[in-house]
Amino acid sequence: MAAQLEHLETAARAEEDGQWYYVVNEAGCFVWQQLWDVGGSSEAVEPSHVLTAGTEFLARSHPAFDDQLPLSTIRGCPGGLDDQDNPSYPSTHSAQFFHWLQVVSPLQGWILDTEIDTVSRARQPGRVNIIKGRVLESSRWLYRVVCADGAVVRSGLELSSDHKYTVRQHAIIEISERKINEQGLARLRTADERGWISEQLNPLSGHRGPVVSLLKMPRPLRFNVILPEGAVVRRTMELSSMITRVVPTGEVISIDAKSFSNHPATHCIPRLKLASESGGGWISQRLNRLPPDDVPVVIPQDTQCPGGSDVPFYEYSSRREGTSGGGGGAGTANGGNAGGNDPLCANGVDEEEEDMSLARATARKDLMRFSASAKRAREGSQSPEAVDETEIECIVCLSAPRQATIVHGETGHIACCMECARILKAKGDRCPVCRMSIDLVIQHFWA
């Protein structure tokens, strides 16, 4: 008890001259015991510790940066540090990308707000390491730019609208809503309401892949149900899926993931996934209504929720098993071993591209289960063998599961994912199976 009181008193004293931040970089954040010349060509100083993802800490900015723009929570905004079209955007090897902060708790040292490649001397900036505020800030809809060319922000929902600015790769940008445009592409509106970015590259351009990726919650958060009617829990993140129960108002629940729904296309709903301790399933963060009637269903309560890291930091060693020599970088583009278990080894962009979204994972599970059941019924076999992947993959992109039904007249074909089906209809193409005109694209659910 005495040790706990001493820790609280130390944290209280530190809070008087510091601000709260939390580590948003999945690979962790280096801590140095001394400042060093980030923009120079000399070798990097080896860090002493690593703050793990989701760790809250108190820090203050270095006086050398008092005359510059203060460190903002989100830098992917017009004129911000990560705006590639800004005339004052730093050059590739500039030290202006990096800001030092002095950590005062739970340990003492210096950190950089932006990931740096410590292996080579290129000093290119990587992922943003930290976000201002407590870990409760992870309840916001924050996305990381994963496309090498950055994220183009346009004034409107359609790709023909004016170009406003471009956010660099690895930067973090806050999103307020998600919609599907006339071309069938998912578009995200920036929280400052200055423009829209694409969630995926436009397949009509001949390219595929993510432009941005939703930041995962570093640990579960507690939410309080405030809607008088309670929170309706459904089996998947789509509103058309089966209702499993209703959480009464006033109850506290644990949330460990989030995602936007795909429907309705004109107003995708922010959805929250209940942790297993709260029974699982999905609820809406806000009602499925247009503003101002889209009142909150739940609100974040606090950060005291199980599931966080028990190790907020650990000592760094360049000789750690699975890491590369030369100082390595926490998640740097050139440092680490992507095949090991060390948290420093991950390349964030590759991880985001390899991870399947929660929506696609759910659809794939359903399709495999029911397709296998139908196959056993046809063949009169009770074998639980898994179905061939080609039976559940979209016949256009050959990667996402078949979630959509292409409707023509009184019939339909389940052949594509929602993204490809919407694009086919937007282009005026015919059904890829029977070549009939497409009347409607809907998402199907297995009951």
Write down which residue in 187, 214, 241 finishes a domain: 214
326-384 pLDDT, tens digit per residue, is 333 344 332 332 233 333 333 333 444 444 555 555 555 665 655 565 565 556 555 54
What pLDDT score was predicted for residue 442?
87
Secondary structure tally for the chain: helices H, strands E: 4, 27
Give DSSP secondary structure letters for 231-255: EEEESSSSTTSPEEEEEPTT-EEEE
User: Tell me, what CATH number does 418's domain have?
Assistant: 3.30.40.10
Burial of residue 52 (number of CB atoms within 10 Å: 0-12, 13-18, 19+): buried
What size, in residues, is the chain? 447
Do residues 167 and 84 touch, judged by C-beta distance below 8 A?
yes
What pLDDT score was predicted for residue 81?
58
What pLDDT score was predicted for residue 210?
93
What pLDDT score was predicted for residue 284?
96
**93 is written with which tokens?**
């090897």
> Which residues of the chain are under the pLDDT cut of 50?
1-5, 7-9, 11-14, 64-73, 303, 305-308, 319-355, 384-385, 387
Does 111 share its domain with 16? yes
Encoded amino acid at 212, one letter: V
What pLDDT score was predicted for residue 227?
95
The answer, yes or no, to whether the previous bond of 63 is cis (omega within 30 of 0) is no
Does 268 share its domain with 283? yes
300-314 pLDDT, tens digit per residue, is 986 454 444 567 878
Residue 29: name the closest of 237, 225, 291, 316 by CA: 316
Residue 24: name the closest of 143, 125, 108 by CA: 143
Rounded to whole angstroms, the Cα distance separating 223 from 299 reads 5
What pLDDT score was predicted for residue 369?
59
The answer, yes or no, to whether the previous bond of 106 is cis (omega within 30 of 0) is yes
Does 114 share its domain with 4? yes
User: Tell me, what CATH number does 249's domain have?
Assistant: 2.30.30
Is 152 within the bounds of a domain? Answer: yes
Is 105 within the bounds of a domain? Answer: yes
Does 251 share its domain with 268? yes
Domain that holds residue 410: 391-443
Residue ranges of E strands in 2-72: 19-23, 29-31, 49-51, 56-61
Domains held by the chain: number: 4
Write down which residue in 300, 324, 344 finishes a domain: 300
